[in-house]
Amino acid sequence: MHVRTVVTRETEWDDQQQAWVLALAVYRAGLCHRCGGELDETASPLLDPNNRDGTHRYEPRPPKRCHRCTALMGSEKTYHATGKDGSYITPHPGALIHQVEKVERRRRG
């Protein structure tokens, strides 16, 4: 008597999932690695400020300040302080996880 075993495995990614992942890879490949803009637009010669035939240009705007990041960076600076000998006052400051909390501001009266 012979016993035959057939093992059927489901593929890890079905056709639709593979198509979605491929589409995502293609989309990401078309993005600027710095600003995240779509290169078809952001690298267009029509946006080159030196192109006489250009139709538009990018102009810098004043930066926005993230007040949460400001608070976090202040905390980081406090705990990354060094003593006169150059050693960190807090051991291993890079291991600290800085946190901030949004609290209600006291009203001036």
Q: What percentage of the chain carries pLDDT values higher than 70?
A: 99
Beta bridge partners of 38: 31
Q: How many CB atoms lie within 10 A of CB 98?
A: 13
Decide if pLDDT at 69 tops 80: yes
Q: What average pLDDT score do residues 68-92 get? A: 85
| pLDDT 10s digits, 26-45 | 999 999 999 999 999 999 99
Q: How confident is the model at residue 52 (pLDDT cuts 50, 70, 90)?
A: very high
pLDDT of residue 79: 80
Which amino acid belongs to residue 39? L
Decide if pLDDT at 88 tops 80: no
